[in-house]
Chain A
Amino acid sequence: MPVHTRKPTRHVPWRDSVSTSVFLALESLRAHPGRAVLAVLGIVVGIVTVSLVATVLANVRNQVALLFRELGTDNVFAFHLSGDPYSPPSDEEAPRMPLDRGFGDVIARQADSVEAAAAQILIPTVVNGRALSARAGSAVSDTVLVEGASANFFDIVGAEFAHGRPFTDLEDRAAARVAVLGASLARALFGGDAGDAALGREVYLLGEPYSVVGVLAQRRGGFFGENRQDSVLAIPAGTARRRFPDSDATVLYLRSAPGRLREAQTEIETVLRKLRRLGPEEPNDFNLSTSEQIIGTLDRVGAGIALATIALAAVSLMIGGIGIANVMIIAVTERTREIGLRMSVGARPRDVLRQFLIESVLLSLFGGACGLAVAALLAALLTLAVPGFLLVLPLWAVAFGLGSSCLTGILAGYLPARQAARMDPVEALRYEAA
């Protein structure tokens, strides 16, 4: 008998499977564009949501982190309430007395690790039922943020002056009517390129004139491009106490010696407890924080949002996967005869499986790429719409988008592809489209 020799396994090069599958996938995309759009819609939506939320989140986090770091990474902030100083206190914290401005100096003297203390007095945006506004000539600003500041405040929080100078101790003690303006406020009141033109001019607050001695440089951090500090109208703390006697909410900025931030926090706590006459069992009736701690809290919130985003992504990718699987099932059914033909010329089950898997992955990748393109576009639009808010799709978002759509393609395409691979060639060739 002649012994027939066959190569035991044939190797179909990946490049050929991919190029044929690309060809066929493009063909079916072109033949049924509506169906393809439906199929990839879920993936597109999923990828857009995830990459955009992730990008915005990362960006906001960095900006906000910058905002807090600008208040000084070596500083400990002391306030009688926890949380946002401009929000009303919780019922539990409402009875707490504000911190005394003089505590700052006591702490600086008694706490070895504290180098200097500055005070900031917060004036509510609404005083006596009227929203505070600042006026210079005919220009009015309603978004002004009035605060009292000690002479060294600007130095301690690292605020840079574009023009002019900070207050002097004398102006503080004498409750002089002088003011330092944030960059945006100066622009709003004295024009775009005010420069040092604002210096020496008068700003009216509740009908009283304050003479401008300094203009601050634009701040770097912010929330959606906004930094409240740019709208600030700072007056000496002593002046604030006299002009706004009802406003006594005081934030102490305590600068620690280099590398001694932890230590400073403990020492400040000890001194403050003594000053507040707290018994050993009583809890603190004040709150200490550092910019890193605030950022840490922020990051925990951010992590929660990120987790929710991932869950959202999983759900929408799953829906997207169902869309892909559906189209693949239709494609496999429609192309039953083609599958039979391929088998009749020597395609093995695994060749057929591979072909449909590749098609499914291509379809998903197409959806993922569309999603990324839409996300990039939206990011660009957001960047245009919100000045100072620069959004770029990070590389990891692109990698994640393509990776997860690839995975979705494999998972969604597997069952239809296996169905194709398991077809009986004779049955497949006899198949008549319904």
Chain B
Amino acid sequence: MTSRDTSPGAHLLELRGVHKVYQVGSEEVRALDGVDLDVSQNEYVAIMGASGSGKSTLMNLLGCLDTPSSGSYRLNGVAVEALDDEELAAIRNEEIGFVFQTFNLLARATALKNVELPLIYAGLGKQERRRKAERALERVGLGDRMSHRSNELSGGQRQRVAVARALVNEPSILLADEPTGNLDSTTSGEIMELFDELNRSGNTVILVTHEDDIAGHARRIVVLRDGKIISDEPSR
């Protein structure tokens, strides 16, 4: 991991007065309504809140899949709201590892091919892609399933492949939107152990969850309601 400036005011990511407004018919939906949030390197954050409170909207902004309607978002010192599509794509490729509730794997492609995907867009050569993808799969404990197609894997294994894909390009942040939402409790536990371990080895992890025991893995819990942060505390 590259060393980053951790002096006060220089967080890995900084949100200031972030709003996200959707126009639904004649009505305005304020999915995010003035969010300020700082996250430093190697933090482990859980975002909670009722359904519709804006958690996914926030994650999409953090993941540079979307840009705020107003307010500012600095990631690694870069003002994201000023970037164009190409630059956002580059940030997603290099700085962000995203894990989805529904895995989002290419069903007929092998685990290895799925994990190689971000590296293709990074412009890496075949050999290096393969080497890195293998290492990432070994890290998530799937060293023996590399050439399985993803539709031949169990839910937990699929989510491991997705995690491997998220971390293969060594991003600054791992973002996970309800990563255990489609998994049973045992498998959920295994996935959470994986995140714990990744965080211990230096990764910054932000995840969304509805469940308290999942959130309990994190060291900081942020709660949203109606697009606003109503609480931001260390977890017990």
Closest to B100 in A: A429
With beta carbons under 8 angstroms apart, the residue of B86, B89, B90, B120 that contacts A16 is: B120
In the bound complex, how far is the Cα of B105 from the Cα of A342, in angstroms? Answer: 10
- The yes or no answer to B118 lying at the interface (CB within 8 A) is yes
- The yes or no answer to B70 lying at the interface (CB within 8 A) is no
Contacting residues, chain B, for A426 (C-beta < 8 A)? 60, 65-66
Asked if A343 contacts B65 (CB within 8 A), the reply is yes
Interface size on A, residues (CB 8 A): 33
Asked if A347 contacts B89 (CB within 8 A), the reply is yes
In the bound complex, how far is the Cα of B78 from the Cα of A312, in angstroms? Answer: 57
- The yes or no answer to B135 lying at the interface (CB within 8 A) is no
With beta carbons under 8 angstroms apart, the residue of A1, A12, A341 that contacts B77 is: A1
In the bound complex, how far is the Cα of B108 from the Cα of A23, in angstroms? Answer: 10
Contacting residues, chain A, for B86 (C-beta < 8 A)? 9, 348-350
Minimal beta-carbon separation of A23 from chain B (angstroms): 7
- The yes or no answer to A207 lying at the interface (CB within 8 A) is no
- The yes or no answer to A425 lying at the interface (CB within 8 A) is yes
With beta carbons under 8 angstroms apart, the residue of A11, A346, A424 that contacts B89 is: A346
Given contacts A1-B5, A6-B94, contact A12 B120 (CB under 8 A): yes
In the bound complex, how far is the Cα of B120 from the Cα of A342, in angstroms? Answer: 10
Asked if B108 contacts A27 (CB within 8 A), the reply is yes
- The yes or no answer to B200 lying at the interface (CB within 8 A) is no
In the bound complex, how far is the Cα of B84 from the Cα of A141, in angstroms? Answer: 85
Given contacts A10-B122, A20-B120, A344-B98, contact A3 B77 (CB under 8 A): yes
Contacting residues, chain A, for B117 (C-beta < 8 A)? 342, 345
Minimal beta-carbon separation of B91 from chain A (angstroms): 8
In the bound complex, how far is the Cα of B84 from the Cα of A144, in angstroms? Answer: 83
Asked if B120 contacts A344 (CB within 8 A), the reply is no
- The yes or no answer to B180 lying at the interface (CB within 8 A) is no
Contacting residues, chain B, for A345 (C-beta < 8 A)? 92-93, 98, 117-118, 121, 165
Contacting residues, chain B, for A7 (C-beta < 8 A)? 90
In the bound complex, how far is the Cα of B123 from the Cα of A350, in angstroms? Answer: 14
Minimal beta-carbon separation of A427 from chain B (angstroms): 9
- The yes or no answer to A292 lying at the interface (CB within 8 A) is no
- The yes or no answer to B82 lying at the interface (CB within 8 A) is no
Minimal beta-carbon separation of B116 from chain A (angstroms): 9
- The yes or no answer to A351 lying at the interface (CB within 8 A) is yes
Asked if A13 contacts B123 (CB within 8 A), the reply is yes
- The yes or no answer to A135 lying at the interface (CB within 8 A) is no
Minimal beta-carbon separation of A306 from chain B (angstroms): 45
- The yes or no answer to A137 lying at the interface (CB within 8 A) is no
- The yes or no answer to A338 lying at the interface (CB within 8 A) is yes
In the bound complex, how far is the Cα of B106 from the Cα of A350, in angstroms? Answer: 20
Contacting residues, chain B, for A32 (C-beta < 8 A)? none
B residues 59-93 touching A (CB-CB < 8 Å): 60, 63, 65-66, 76-78, 85-87, 89-93
- The yes or no answer to B4 lying at the interface (CB within 8 A) is yes
- The yes or no answer to B185 lying at the interface (CB within 8 A) is no
- Please report B residues at the A interface, Cβ cutoff 8 Å: 4-5, 10, 60, 63, 65-66, 76-78, 85-87, 89-94, 98, 100, 104, 106, 108-109, 113, 117-118, 120-123, 125-126, 165, 169
